[in-house]
Amino acid sequence: MSMASNALQEMWMYSGTDAGSNRADEISRSAVLEQLEKIVANSHFCHSKRYPSFLRFVVEETLAGHTDVLKERNLGTEVFGRQSDYDTNADPIVRVTAGEIRKRLAQYYHEPGHEHELRIELPLGSYVPHFAPPAHRRQAADASVALEAASAPLPLEQDASVVPSAPSSPVVLFPAAEIPASTPWRRWPLLIAFSAVGLCVLAIGLYLSFFSRASFHDAGTKFFWQPIVSSSNPALVIIGVHSMDSKGRTLPVDTVGSSEQKEPQNMMSLMSRYEMVPISDIVGYSKITNLLTRHARTYQTEGSGEATLDQLRHGPVILIGGLDNVWTIRLTASLRYRFFAKTELLNGIEDSKDPSKLWMFDNALPAHGNARDYAIVASYFDTTIEQQVVIAAGVGRSGTVAATEFITSTANLNAWLKQAKLSPGQNVELVLATDLLDGEPGPPHVIASSTW
């Protein structure tokens, strides 16, 4: 077997079915399992239940030679407890989890100190992991197979569980012994082609490196927003809306679209009574979407009365508004701090672990008076919709203003994170307070927090 073929085999995947091959000698089962434990103990994985269990399952089944079971439906039943006949189109948990694991593995190996570790990779379009030597050991192999890879035919699209096999014989683009010494010009097109490819790769790497540093030069913003910004799917921004009945009374968000809207309407009543958005919420929305735009992330916008559960399950979610946003009420119901309405105008935030702690705000106070408003901000992975969620929601109008200011302010987030001393990947929910002077909110400050 040629040196190039040996190098190509060096990069191939180990599985239980070829335990006696050279590949098994290069990467032992124990080495793979040891590396697996390092990865799942890292902060990119240890704060989640889904990612370690999924990665552990596919690695162990591959080592056992059971790559045939690594298909979407089977992973859904074995790892996530779905029924054997569940609809994989309606419930994409396997695909979403695999995508997140690929991202987190890339982040893990990008961090300093991991570049000399054995690599566990989950290729796109497959649930069968690949195991490879550390990056510095692969460079020589990459160079020796470059000529062969350039002339090899592109593989046909395969099933996600299919594992490619090493070629039985080396692929030689042009045997070195057959190149006439008098015709060096024959090598120039190939050298130019590979030089161009190398320059393109270098340029892309520098581009991504620059924008990565530009995007996350501060720890606070990175902690709060990285799960949203790094998602491959567009964020869904859901903004709260106000609706009134025919007598001008505020309708609870759960009743909007029910019997009240069955009354005869004209276009004017529809515009003046339903789905109204305060200017203060629009200002907050503008701050958040500007942040997403600076980080080159796409997003979609829905009013809380129009957004559906199916939409929430297809990408990260950002909720603006408290008691006027039905999705804020629904998703915070399982969190420690949540909203409640005592009367139509007297509302607040309660601590589910300590019912004696209540933060109340009376919306009947004079619009230009002095008071204290409260808000909830959060960044966490929601197990109901299985997506990352960011919340900026006030009890009153000023609370939402303070919340959006807090989560879009580098100074606020850095100061909070420095004091909180949290690890990347942790879920967090905060209660904020803002003092109103002549009806205008002052700087937000944290008065309670919960992490998990």
Q: What confidence score (pLDDT) does residue 158 get?
A: 38
10-residue stretch averages of pLDDT, the chain, 452 residues long: 40 40 62 94 88 94 94 93 86 88 90 90 92 66 43 40 40 39 51 64 55 56 87 89 59 48 51 63 87 87 85 92 88 91 82 90 73 92 92 89 91 87 86 84 89 90
Q: What is the CA radius of gyration of the chain?
A: 28
Cβ count within 10 A of residue 33 = 13
Q: What confidence score (pLDDT) does residue 247 get?
A: 55
Q: What confidence score (pLDDT) does residue 306 get?
A: 80
- DSSP 8-state secondary structure symbol assigned to residue 250: B
Cα distance between residue 85 and residue 64, in whole Å: 26
Residue 409 burial (10 A CB sphere; 0-12, 13-18, 19+): middle
Q: Which residue has the tokens 């012994």?
A: 177
Beta bridge partners of residue 121, listed in sequence order: 130
DSSP labels for 215-246? HTSSHHHHHHHHHHHT-SSPEEEEE--B-B-T
Q: Give Cβ neighbours of residue 450 (< 8 Å, ≥ 6 apart).
A: 335, 336, 337, 428, 429, 430
Q: What confidence score (pLDDT) does residue 148 get?
A: 43
Beta bridge partners of residue 381, listed in sequence order: 388
CA 277, chain centre distance (Å)? 28
**pTM, entire model:** 0.50
Cα distance between residue 367 and residue 364, in whole Å: 8
Cβ count within 10 A of residue 267 = 7
Q: What tokens appear for 130 in the block?
A: 């690949």
- Show me where the domains of the chain are located: 3-151+159-174, 187-216, 221-261+269-451
Q: What confidence score (pLDDT) does residue 244 get?
A: 56
